[in-house]
Amino acid sequence: MTRNAEPERAIVRRVIPFGPPAALVALLAGWLAASWGTGWSAALGVVVVVANAAANALILSQAARISLTAYSAAVMGGFVIRLGVIVAIMFALNRLDWFSPLAFGLAVAPATVLLLAYEMKLVAGGLGQELQIPTPDLQRTRKEAT
């Protein structure tokens, strides 16, 4: 794969600034709805979504340097692994008295949908168009030239 830039990292650089305000909104909404524990649970849900997006970008960026197959494997395998990590975090936090899995889940779901909608907006606006996937013949020619 040939790339002039790393669109995955560009997306995360644009997404991360929304993380702290979104976590603050989740904290305040949870606090107003029930308690500080609920608020912190919701805020942690938003933080996990933003961290998940950053991890995804790093994994895809690294895999794109290797091959299209590595990129595809990172997309599918990475999704399953990252989803498992989110569930594991929720189960680990559930051992704490103040943690609310409902608030965590109710923050993770909309935060993920909003994140994906924003990523789609960025991609529709042209981010990532520099990705070029050469044909196998072109790859072979490049290897022989070096």
Contact predicate 52/86, CB 8 Å: yes
How far CA 113 is from CA of 7, 36, 62, 108, 117, in Å, comes to: 20, 24, 25, 9, 6
Question: What digits encode the pLDDT tens for the residues 9-61?
Answer: 788 888 899 999 999 999 999 999 999 999 999 999 999 999 998 888 888 88
Contact predicate 46/26, CB 8 Å: yes
Over 90: is that where the pLDDT of 98 sits? yes
Q: How is the chain split into domains, by residue range?
A: 7-140
CA distance 103 to 34: 10
Q: How many residues does the chain have?
A: 146
Buried b / exposed e along 80-117 (16+ C-beta atoms within 10 A): eebeeebeebbeebeeeeebbeebbebbbeebbeebee
Question: What digits encode the pLDDT tens for the residues 59-84?
Answer: 888 888 888 888 889 989 888 998 89
CA distance 27 to 34: 11
CA distance 87 to 38: 18
Among the listed ranges 58-62, 69-73, 86-90, 138-142, which one has the minimum average pLDDT value?
138-142
Which pLDDT score is estimated for 114? 92
Over 80: is that where the pLDDT of 142 sits? no
Radius of gyration for the alpha carbons in the chain, expressed in angstroms and rounded? 19
Contact predicate 74/59, CB 8 Å: yes
